[in-house]
Every structure is written in structure tokens, then in C-alpha cells.
């Protein structure tokens, strides 16, 4: 795979963040203590071990802020639907930068530096990059390969079940209405392809006379849930999507999980991790 294509591959946001944070926070002081790089071997103090552990603590606090506080403040920037390996690496580089800055301030306080020096900050950024690049590269690569292998295998298994499992046909007439009750859609349950939440509207994609159609109704997916949840073939696979299990054409796996390709329309629908178990049970052999 070309490097440019590789960096555009989907990647989960904050997947196993706690494990990564703990690993890096432990790795840094252990690395400093074992190898004594950057002149540490010349530093003598009865508090040396405690001081080195402080670098791990600073790293831990900054990583928590970057992985949990910032995503809460800037939700749109951290949407998993648009998250890729390159964005994940940029996020990690930013974390490395802030960890380097934090550790420089920590060093200045511990060793009583009178003033900050721009060259000192730059050198600390280089040092932090050198130390952190190894675990960051290992974590990203191993996690990506592990998730890809797992999800591709699962997608392949589910694809084999589609021809036999998509048999929950339902000819009941479903009526979906807008909040004001003026706009509505009446459609056979089995003709619904999928329903997507879009702001204050839901977009209903359905088949009519052999052609795919869509209509926007001013309503929420939560409001439509009372009707859709009673239809056996309709399954919620994401906070913004309901899909008709009969209308799944194929399933693709990636590092974020897997996506459903729907019949008749060029649409890939994500399956959120908290809904994946339901989809698996519906498509897996009993």
C-alpha cells in the first residue's frame, strides 16, 4: 500500500486511549531510568528516581487533556467518521509537542531555571520526539493491523451469511410523519432502505416502483424510533442510522469497525461499536 493511501485509511478515535496513555506514561520514565540519555547519567540526587517519575506524571496529565478534554470541547474536529491515520498521527504529534513543552516547564521548575530559553524548548521538543516516536509508532501500527485483521475477518464471515439471513420480509404499511403532522410517508416496511438523522430532519431512503427515492421529514430519529423499533427488519446501527437488514448488499471491514453497503444506492453506513453486537447476532448463524 502506498504511503499516501495508507495515511488516508480510517482509524478509530481514542480507541483504547487509557491503555495508550498508561503505556506511554510508564515507558518514558522507565526509558529515562534504564538508558540515562541526554546527560541524565551525570545528574546525582537522592530524589533522582522520583524526579524521573515526574516526567511520566506530566505526560499522563497532558495525555488525559488531549485525549479526553479537547475532544469534548471540539467535538466536530474529532468525529470518527472523518478520522484517519494521518489525523491520528497529527493528533499524536500535537500531544508529543505539548508533552515536550510540559516536561520542559517541569524541568525548569525542578532545576530552578530562572527564565525560559527558546533553544531549550526546541531541544526539549526534539528529545521528546525521539523518546516518544518509538511507542507512538508501535501503538499506531499494531493497533491498526490488529483492528483491520479482526474486522476484515468478521466482515467476511457476515458477508457469507447475507444470502441466507436477509429473509425477514415484512409487507406491513409503515407511516412516518413530521412533527407538525402535515408531511408524511407511507411505505411498505420491506421497501425502506435506511433512515438517516440529519439535524432536525430524518432522511428516509426507500424503493418505489423499482427505483430508490428519498424524502426529508422534520422529525428526529428518536421520535421515529417508536415505529421503527417494532419492525423486525429495521435495526439501529448508529446513533444517526436505522437500516433495513434485508437491504444490505455487502459489508466492508476497516480499523474503525465495519460499514454496511446498501442495495440500490451508493451509501456506506457505519456500524457504531455499541450497536455491532446486535448486527452480529442478526447476521451470524444461530
Using DSSP, state whether 198 is helix, strand or coil: strand
Q: What is the mean pLDDT of the chain?
A: 81
Collect all residues with Cβ–Cβ distance below 8 Å to 28 and sequence separation of at least 6.
Answer: 55, 56, 59, 131, 132
Q: What does the pLDDT average to over 181-203?
A: 88
Instruction: Choose from 79-83, 123-127, 180-184 the range with maximum mean pLDDT.
Output: 180-184
d(CA 274, CA 261): 19
d(CA 77, CA 45): 44
Q: Residue 243: what pLDDT?
A: 92
What confidence tier does 15 reach under pLDDT thresholds 50, 70, 90? Answer: low
C-alpha distances in angstroms, 62 versus 86, 95, 161?
A: 21, 7, 45
What confidence tier does 107 reach under pLDDT thresholds 50, 70, 90? Answer: confident
Tens-digit pLDDT profile for residues 238-280: 888 999 988 888 888 887 788 899 989 888 898 887 888 888 7
Q: Where are the domains of the chain?
A: 3-157, 166-283
Collect all residues with Cβ–Cβ distance below 8 Å to 207 and sequence separation of at least 6.
Answer: 191, 193, 213, 264
**pLDDT higher for 197 or 95?**
197
Q: Residue 116: what pLDDT?
A: 62
What confidence tier does 92 reach under pLDDT thresholds 50, 70, 90? Answer: confident
Closest by Cα among 157, 279, 181, 173 to 231: 173
Q: What does the pLDDT average to over 5-10?
A: 75
Question: Is the model's pLDDT at 139 over the cut of 90?
Answer: no
Closest by Cα among 233, 285, 25 to 139: 25
Using DSSP, state whether 83 is helix, strand or coil: coil
Q: Would you mind telling me the total number of residues written for the chain in this entry?
A: 286
What confidence tier does 168 reach under pLDDT thresholds 50, 70, 90? Answer: low
d(CA 247, CA 49): 61
Tens-digit pLDDT profile for residues 18-53: 777 888 888 888 888 887 766 677 677 788 888 889
**pLDDT higher for 44 or 235?**
235
User: What are the beta bridge partners of residue 206?
Assistant: 192, 213
Using DSSP, state whether 250 is helix, strand or coil: strand
Q: Residue 192: what pLDDT?
A: 92
Q: What class does CATH assign to 166-283?
A: mainly beta
Q: What does the pLDDT average to over 198-220?
A: 90
Cell of 179: 412533527
Q: Residue 16: what pLDDT?
A: 61
Question: Is the model's pLDDT at 166 over the cut of 60?
Answer: no
Q: At what angle do helices 17-35 and 48-64 cross, to 10 degrees?
A: 160
Whether residue 217 contacts residue 204, with contact meaning beta carbons closer than 8 Å, is answered with: yes
Q: Residue 196: what pLDDT?
A: 93
Amino acid at each position: 500500500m502506498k504511503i499516501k493511501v495508507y495515511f488516508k485509511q480510517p482509524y478509530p478515535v481514542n480507541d483504547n486511549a487509557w491503555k495508550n496513555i498508561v503505556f506511554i506514561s510508564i515507558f518514558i520514565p522507565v526509558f529515562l531510568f534504564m538508558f540515562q540519555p541526554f546527560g541524565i547519567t551525570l545528574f546525582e540526587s537522592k530524589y533522582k528516581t522520583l524526579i524521573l517519575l515526574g516526567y511520566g506524571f506530566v505526560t499522563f496529565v497532558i495525555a488525559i487533556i488531549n485525549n479526553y478534554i479537547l475532544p469534548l470541547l471540539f467535538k466536530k474536529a474529532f468525529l470518527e467518521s472523518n478520522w484517519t491515520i494521518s489525523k491520528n498521527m497529527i493528533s499524536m504529534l500535537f500531544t508529543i509537542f505539548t508533552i515536550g513543552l510540559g516536561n520542559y516547564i517541569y524541568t525548569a521548575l525542578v532545576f530552578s531555571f530562572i527564565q525560559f530559553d527558546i533553544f531549550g524548548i526546541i531541544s526539549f521538543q526534539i528529545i521528546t520526539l525521539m523518546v516518544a516516536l518509538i511507542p507512538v509508532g508501535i501503538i499506531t501500527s499494531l493497533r491498526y493491523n490488529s483492528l483491520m485483521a479482526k474486522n476484515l475477518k468478521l466482515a467476511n464471515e457476515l458477508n457469507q451469511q447475507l444470502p441466507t439471513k436477509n429473509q425477514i420480509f415484512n409487507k406491513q404499511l409503515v407511516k412516518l410523519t413530521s412533527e407538525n403532522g402535515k408531511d408524511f410517508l407511507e411505505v411498505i416496511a420491506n421497501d425502506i432502505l435506511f433512515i438517516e438523522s440529519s439535524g432536525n430532519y430524518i432522511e428516509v431512503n426507500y424503493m418505489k416502483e423499482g427505483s430508490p427515492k428519498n424524502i426529508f421529514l422534520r422529525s428526529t430519529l428518536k421520535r421515529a424510533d417508536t415505529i421503527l423499533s417494532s419492525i423486525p427488519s429495521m435495526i439501529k446501527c448508529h446513533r444517526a442510522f436505522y437500516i433495513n437488514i434485508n437491504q444490505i448488499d455487502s459489508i466492508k471491514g476497516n480499523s474503525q469497525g465495519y460499514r454496511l453497503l446498501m442495495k440500490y444506492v451508493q451509501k456506506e453506513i457505519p456500524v457504531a461499536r455499541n450497536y455491532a453486537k446486535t448486527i452480529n447476532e442478526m447476521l451470524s448463524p444461530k
